[in-house]
Amino acid sequence: MSLFLARNMASGRQRLRIVSEEEFVMDCAIRQWRLSDAGDLAKLLNNQKIMDNLRDGLPFPYTVKDAEEFIGAMLAADLEKTFAFAITVDDKAVGSIGVFRCENIHFRTAEMGYYIGEPYWGQGTMTSAVRQTCQYIFEHTDIIRIFAEPFSHNTASCRVLEKAGFTFEGLLRSNAVKNGRVLDMKMYALVKEDTE
């Protein structure tokens, strides 16, 4: 039986579920993007702390028009290759998560990417969204391996993956250049057979 606690925060009243004595998880859901999410998405991505931990290619500042274009592209994407979801709390978009099928001999492998708005950091929301997304992918597709490559300095993202059951497979040394710095990345993966 889940126990819910009410917690007041600057962004409004939110529910927390006790998972263990040490861990609190904010209830969230994943769902298909809606064009009406564009305003919330633009607010989330106008945060340099988030942008510093994502790959390049996103405009900054991030406008509602940028968000509409992204959502439109995700809704029009090949449903066998792109699995893109809004992370929601009380049906409000608070983050984004996507799984992208690889090609050629890796066609049953997919890469995961995600972010969540800063007001939701440290509340277990991202871990819950990663778990939900992996469960969906493994139940509804033939994908057998999902991997993610966070920057090695992004300890919060690494912890999300570890708590969601991913295995650390290795350090990718000097694997990226972000904001003019050469950075290491970490390889994490979740294999379907390990979840059964």
CATH H-level superfamily of 4-194: Gcn5-related N-acetyltransferase (GNAT) (3.40.630.30)
For the chain, the structural domain boundaries read 4-194
**pLDDT the model gives residue 22:** 42
164-196 CB burial, b ≥16 within 10 A, e <16:
bebeeeeeeeeeeebeeeebebbbbbbbbeeee
Q: Go through the chain and tell me how many residues it has.
A: 196
Global confidence as pTM? 0.84
**pLDDT the model gives residue 81:** 96
How do 167-178 and 12-18 pair as beta strands?
unpaired
**pLDDT the model gives residue 29:** 93
pLDDT in tens, 11-59: 333 333 333 434 445 589 999 999 999 999 999 988 888 888 778 788 8
**pLDDT the model gives residue 26:** 59
**pLDDT the model gives residue 53:** 78
**Which residues are bridge partners to 96 per DSSP?**
86, 115
Burial of 140 (0-12, 13-18, 19+ CB in 10 A): exposed
> Which tokens hold the place of 193?
């057979």
**pLDDT the model gives residue 148:** 97
**pLDDT the model gives residue 25:** 52
Low-confidence ranges of the chain (pLDDT < 50): 1-24
**pLDDT the model gives residue 59:** 84
Q: Is the dihedral of CA 40, 46, 49, 52 positive or negative?
A: positive
**pLDDT the model gives residue 50:** 87
Q: Is the dihedral of CA 167, 125, 148, 137 positive or negative?
A: positive
